[in-house]
């Protein structure tokens, strides 16, 4: 190595990007591996090169400024000049790229990234955010209630529209496609969207409530653009993108169209990176990048209430950070200040294995400022989808009123049937 990147006396300035990693070295010391990672993710390589000059090193050299050997974690401060403004793919090619394939590492996990205001200014952030979503739906002071139409695939557009009407009239606030439903022969996007929107318009007229629909536009970027405009033309105020499989470039492309539509971010595929506590990229990192780009709502887990991975602490940390406007984090003696500038907060979506009996525990752990989504926990109700929606609404009302689900169920058979089938978490 032509230079050492470890300097524990270094104090990052306010114009640097801070990345936190967890690492297990392979055949080298922890400090040596830290230095090599800093080099590979920035200006260095495996040997001394004649093309390196002191000016480059002075301006662009990162510093490993914090190491916790017990936890096997460390932090690197990267000069802002290493990165292109407004370009998440380039950022991740640097601090989330080659370093994961280094032979001197048994494992490596990118745990978190903190950004200076100068970098944040290069992004739009959510167009609506939490307040904008609530204002559009005219819902305040309680969780938003939604459903994923089930089965995931196989239904015709008319069948989906019928289900959408049933759950909307039953009390839910919005409907969405599932992650692997795009535009199949039996359910073309162009056929599905107008029918579902028409069904929801009817439910709105009958109930006096606003009800949203997030059609899944995930596809190559040019097709996503066509689908987004098509949905907007037919009255949709929402779109959904599978952000991991569509990729950073695809997500930025859609957000930068500035279409005036709420972007719902599904995280399908995230666990390929996030599930291992030892290797990969944390869900916290993915969520913060999605907020920076500009999704209005994103799946973060269910705080160990539903079927998906994600501890209570991890899920709540993600929720807290993507809702924050200002974050102060102590790194040893260093105080890192993260300014989110004018980036609106993103609302957390809890989804995966939820049913009415889990609502009290979910609210206890994640609070009321969340989106709850129910798939099987709605459509698997003994009385069908509409009764499932009613049971969900009744459970939410019980939490709001400070009574137990069992007490509420005495006067509401839909909730009682749900509890009899799935229990109370």
Q: What CATH number does residue 159 fall under?
A: 3.20.20.110
Q: Are residues 204 and 144 in the same domain?
A: yes
- Domain boundary (101, 120, 139) is at 120
Q: Give domain status of residue 332, yes or no.
A: no
Q: How many CB atoms lie within 10 A of CB 160?
A: 21
Q: How many CB atoms lie within 10 A of CB 285?
A: 23
The pLDDT of residue 103 is 96
Instruction: Supply 181's token pair.
Output: 């439903």
Q: Give domain status of residue 51, yes or no.
A: yes
User: For the chain, how many structural domains are there in total?
Assistant: 2
Q: Are residues 292 and 155 in the same domain?
A: yes
304 pLDDT band, cuts 50/70/90, is confident
Between CA 394 and CA 406 the distance in angstroms is 11
Q: Give domain status of residue 416, yes or no.
A: yes
> For residues 329 and 115, is the Cβ–Cβ distance under 8 A?
no
Could you list the residue range(s) of the whole structural domain that residue 97 is in? 16-120
The pLDDT of residue 327 is 45
pLDDT digits (tens, 9 = 90+) for 365-398: 999 999 999 999 999 999 999 999 999 999 999 9
Q: Give domain status of residue 329, yes or no.
A: no
Q: Are residues 390 and 373 in the same domain?
A: yes
- pLDDT of 337 over the 70 cut: no
Task: Classify strands 238-242 and 262-266 as parallel, antiparallel or unpaired.
Answer: parallel
pLDDT digits (tens, 9 = 90+) for 73-129: 999 999 999 999 999 999 999 999 999 999 999 999 999 999 998 999 999 999 999
The pLDDT of residue 49 is 80
306 pLDDT band, cuts 50/70/90, is confident
402 pLDDT band, cuts 50/70/90, is very high
Q: Are residues 88 and 143 in the same domain?
A: no
Q: Give domain status of residue 292, yes or no.
A: yes
Q: Are residues 207 and 133 in the same domain?
A: yes
Between CA 175 and CA 165 the distance in angstroms is 9
Instruction: Supply 269's token pair.
Output: 């595929």
The pLDDT of residue 339 is 58
Helix, coil or strand: residue 96: coil
332 pLDDT band, cuts 50/70/90, is very low
Q: Are residues 104 and 200 in the same domain?
A: no
Task: Say which of 63, 237, 266, 381 is annotated catalytic.
Answer: 266
Residue 144's contacts (CB-CB under 8 Å, 6 or more residues apart) are 133, 134, 137, 173, 174, 347, 370, 371, 372
354 pLDDT band, cuts 50/70/90, is very high
Closest CA to 110 of 315, 276, 335, 237: 276
- Domain boundary (120, 142, 171) is at 120
Task: Classify strands 280-281 and 262-266 as parallel, antiparallel or unpaired.
Answer: unpaired
Between CA 63 and CA 10 the distance in angstroms is 7
Distances (CA, A) of 75 to 85, 175, 276, 321, 385: 21, 41, 20, 18, 49
Q: Are residues 152 and 266 in the same domain?
A: yes
| Mean pLDDT taken over the chain | 93
How many residues are listed for the chain in this entry?
A: 425
Between CA 347 and CA 320 the distance in angstroms is 10
Closest CA to 358 of 402, 415, 313: 415
Q: Give domain status of residue 2, yes or no.
A: no
Tokens 């209630």 sit on residue: 145
Task: Say which of 61, 150, 381, 387 is annotated catalytic.
Answer: 150
> For residues 284 and 247, is the Cβ–Cβ distance under 8 A?
no
> Is residue 148 within a helix (H) or strand (E), and if so which, with residue range?
strand 144-148
The pLDDT of residue 52 is 77
Distances (CA, A) of 117 to 16, 92, 245, 312, 341: 9, 18, 28, 30, 6
Closest CA to 398 of 360, 371, 358, 353: 360
Instruction: Show the 3-state SS of 317-383.
Output: HHHHHHHCCEEEEEECCEEEEEECCCCCCCEEEEECCCCHHHHHHHHHHHCCCEEEEECHHHHCCCC
The average pLDDT across 326-349 equals: 64
Here the CATH number for the domain that contains residue 27 is 3.30.70.150
Helix, coil or strand: residue 125: coil
Q: Are residues 217 and 350 in the same domain?
A: yes
Q: How many CB atoms lie within 10 A of CB 184?
A: 12
> For residues 135 and 296, is the Cβ–Cβ distance under 8 A?
no
- Domain boundary (120, 140, 158) is at 120
Q: Give domain status of residue 11, yes or no.
A: no
Q: Are residues 95 and 142 in the same domain?
A: no
Q: Are residues 270 and 404 in the same domain?
A: yes
Q: Are residues 278 and 299 in the same domain?
A: yes
Between CA 162 and CA 91 the distance in angstroms is 44
DSSP code of residue 284: H
Q: Give domain status of residue 272, yes or no.
A: yes
Beta bridge partners of 73: 22, 68
Active site residue 266: yes
The average pLDDT across 22-30 equals: 97
Q: Are residues 50 and 168 in the same domain?
A: no
Distances (CA, A) of 206 to 136, 202, 351, 392, 397: 18, 6, 28, 19, 21
Residue 255's contacts (CB-CB under 8 Å, 6 or more residues apart) are 124, 127, 263, 293, 294, 295
């Amino acid at each position: 190595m032509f230079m050492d990147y470890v300097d524990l006396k270094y104090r990052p300035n306010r114009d640097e990007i801070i990345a936190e990693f967890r690492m297990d070295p392979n055949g080298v010391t922890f400090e040596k591996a830290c230095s090599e990672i800093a080099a590979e993710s920035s200006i260095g390589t495996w040997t001394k090169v004649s093309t390196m000059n002191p000016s480059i090193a002075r301006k662009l050299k990162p510093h490993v400024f914090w190491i916790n050997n017990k936890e096997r974690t460390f932090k690197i401060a990267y000069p802002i000049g290493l990165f292109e403004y407004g370009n998440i793919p380039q950022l991740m090619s640097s601090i989330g790229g080659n370093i994961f394939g280094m032979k001197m590492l048994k494992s490596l996990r990118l745990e978190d990234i903190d950004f200076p205001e100068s970098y944040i200014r290069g992004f739009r952030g959510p167009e609506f955010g939490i307040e904008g979503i609530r204002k559009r739906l005219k819902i305040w002071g309680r969780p938003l209630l939604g459903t994923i139409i089930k089965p995931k695939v196989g239904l015709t557009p008319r069948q989906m529209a019928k289900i959408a009407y049933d759950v909307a009239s039953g009390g839910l606030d919005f409907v969405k496609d599932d992650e692997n439903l795009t535009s199949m022969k039996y359910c073309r996007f162009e056929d599905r969207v107008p029918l579902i929107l028409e069904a929801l318009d009817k439910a709105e007229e009958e109930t006096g409530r606003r009800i949203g629909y997030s059609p899944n536009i995930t596809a190559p970027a040019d097709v996503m653009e066509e689908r987004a405009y098509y949905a907007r033309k037919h009255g949709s105020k929402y779109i959904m993108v599978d952000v991991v499989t569509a990729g950073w470039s695809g997500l930025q492309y859609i957000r930068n169209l500035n279409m005036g539509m709420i972007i719902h971010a599904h995280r399908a595929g995230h666990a390929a990176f996030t599930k291992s506590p030892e290797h990969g990229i944390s869900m916290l990192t993915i969520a913060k990048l999605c907020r920076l780009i500009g999704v209005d709502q994103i799946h973060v887990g269910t705080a160990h209430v539903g079927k998906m991975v994600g501890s209570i602490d991890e899920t709540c940390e993600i929720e807290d950070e993507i809702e924050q406007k200002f974050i102060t984090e102590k790194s040893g003696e260093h105080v890192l200040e993260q300014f989110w500038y004018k980036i609106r907060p993103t609302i957390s979506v809890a989804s995966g294995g939820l049913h009415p009996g889990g609502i009290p525990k979910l609210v206890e752990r994640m609070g009321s400022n969340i989106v709850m989504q129910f798939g099987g926990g709605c459509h698997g109700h003994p009385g069908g989808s509409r009764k499932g929606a009613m049971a969900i609404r009744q459970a939410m009302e019980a939490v709001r009123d400070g009574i137990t689900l069992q007490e509420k169920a005495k006067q509401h058979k839909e909730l009682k049937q749900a509890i009899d089938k799935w229990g109370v978490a």
